[in-house]
Amino acid sequence: MTTTEQTLTGEHAELLEALGKHRFFLRYTVQGLTDEQAALTPTASQLCLGGLIKHVTRAEQGWYDFIQHGPDAHSGTDIEGHLNSFRMLPGETLEAVLADYEAVSRRTDELLTSGVDLNQSRPLPVAPWFPPNSSWSIRRVLMHIIAETAQHAGHADIIRETIDGQKSMG
């Protein structure tokens, strides 16, 4: 933990702590797995553990870009990229997927520890799932990243338990 993180207080610290908790659970689900196991889709869905981490990485990167550069920088409307983010593609390794997630996580953490203005707002990208002409504050974006990470950590826990019985909790 850096000195900045140790002295961070208030809402920024709480958001960082919540995000860190759910990231831990997501990463924990893949400990000790091979690339082949990380690519398995053992449930009724087409989700795999490596793909879930790729998806969360892509989503967090898109929202980070949105915070930094506005709605045109968000990659959320790229449907093929979105679909591929749920899969381990040929040649991808769990180690590389985790390294990408770590790099993106570090950038988001640095943004939070910088004391970014959580009230700053940006218009959302044009997409069918966003109401027209709406905006989100940086706070709302970070809450969305936390929620998405937590949701997919839960999915990952179910998939891991199906693969080999290991549970993240309980």
Residue 143 has pLDDT above 70, yes or no: yes
Q: How confident is the model at residue 79 (pLDDT cuts 50, 70, 90)?
A: confident
Residue 86 has pLDDT above 50, yes or no: yes
Could you tell me which residue, 77 or 100, shows the higher pLDDT? 100
Q: How confident is the model at residue 5 (pLDDT cuts 50, 70, 90)?
A: very low
In this prediction, residue 107 carries a pLDDT of: 97
Angle at 13 between CA 12 and CA 17, to 5 degrees: 120
What CATH topology corresponds to 19-164? Four Helix Bundle (Hemerythrin (Met), subunit A) (1.20.120)
pTM of the shown model = 0.91
Residue 77 has pLDDT above 90, yes or no: no
pLDDT, one tens digit per residue, over 57-68 is 999 999 999 999
pLDDT, one tens digit per residue, over 145-164 is 999 999 999 999 999 999 99
Residue 18 has pLDDT above 50, yes or no: yes
Q: Where are the domains of the chain?
A: 19-164
Residue 4 has pLDDT above 70, yes or no: no
Residue 2 has pLDDT above 60, yes or no: no
Residue 6 has pLDDT above 90, yes or no: no
